[in-house]
Chains A and B, each alone.
Chain A
Amino acid sequence: MNSRQQELGDLALRLVQGKLSSAEKQVVQDLILHDPEFLRVLQLEVALAKNFTSVKQPISGSMKSRVYTGVTGSARAGLYMDVFRTVLKKTLPQAAQPAFKLIERSVFANG
């Protein structure tokens, strides 16, 4: 690909992606009307984009909701754990604190 082909290829790709600026749209309109080389490159870009549509594997609805629940559920569990820990620390008698620390290490460390 020489530099002119690269330039035409970049414009054609951005056209396919729908990312042209308004100034570029004018240039592209002109190229489509008057430049057969651009039309050739544009055809290739359109064909590539069409071929690539089959590559993407969509997420299933069940996985989508499972992951969402997993993420928000973990965050909620972390919050409950923090609240629970604070409440226990404040309410347990001083004498029970060493035992609480042992439990905290073994239970909360895995939480």
Chain B
Amino acid sequence: MDFEQLYEANVDAVYGYLMFKLNDEQLAEDILQETFLAVHQGMQKNDEISSPKAWLLSIAHNKMVDCLRKRRIVESGLDFEVAADLNENHSNVFLQEALGQLADTERTIVYGLYVEGLTCRELAQILALPEGTVKSKAHYARKHLYHWLQEGSK
């Protein structure tokens, strides 16, 4: 796969992920550019990637964490409630509310599972966590969302 194909196939997923995490168009664009620049510069070494999407998302995730560290914003300090308010034109407000009750990592995991169709193994790679940890966090988060759906239907 050459760079153009890789970009076309995955740019939407990487941007969507960054916007979900940051809710800042300018910052998301900057990190998107840094991510693909790093990929473009190391293109020759990337022939044996089994899941390009998971690989790109892990690069983007690391770039985002570095960037937030530089800005002295700790990842857990991101105010999801504010993000949810700003997102309400684009998103399901009630789902945002349910997601707001989850920890940041759990939100990222369910986003990866339901929006990008990633596996727990791929998410473990992106978040640099053991697969078992991702699985148990995924179960907890899904249980919470099942409950939210069932409550909503009553």
Instruction: Find chain B residues with CB under 8 A from A13 CB.
Output: 113, 142
Q: Does B117 contact A (CB under 8 A)?
A: yes
Instruction: Find chain B residues with CB under 8 A from A18 CB.
Output: 117
- B interface, size bucket: 35 or more
Main secondary structure of the interface of B (DSSP, over half): helix
Q: Does B67 contact A (CB under 8 A)?
A: no
Complex Cα distance A48/B110, Å?
10
CB within 8 Å of B: which A50-73 residues: 51-59, 63-64, 66-68, 70-72
Q: Is B37 within 8 A of A51, CB to CB? A: no
* Shortest beta-carbon distance from A37 to chain B in Å: 13
> Chain B residue with minimal CB distance to A68?
B7
Show the binding face of B for A, using Cβ within 8 Å.
3-4, 7, 11-12, 15-16, 19-20, 29, 32-33, 36-37, 40-41, 87, 90-92, 95-96, 99, 110-111, 113-115, 117, 119, 139, 142-143, 145-146, 149-150
* A–B complex contacts, Cβ < 8 Å, 13 sampled: A6-B139, A9-B142, A19-B117, A48-B110, A48-B146, A52-B95, A55-B92, A55-B96, A55-B115, A58-B16, A59-B15, A67-B36, A75-B37
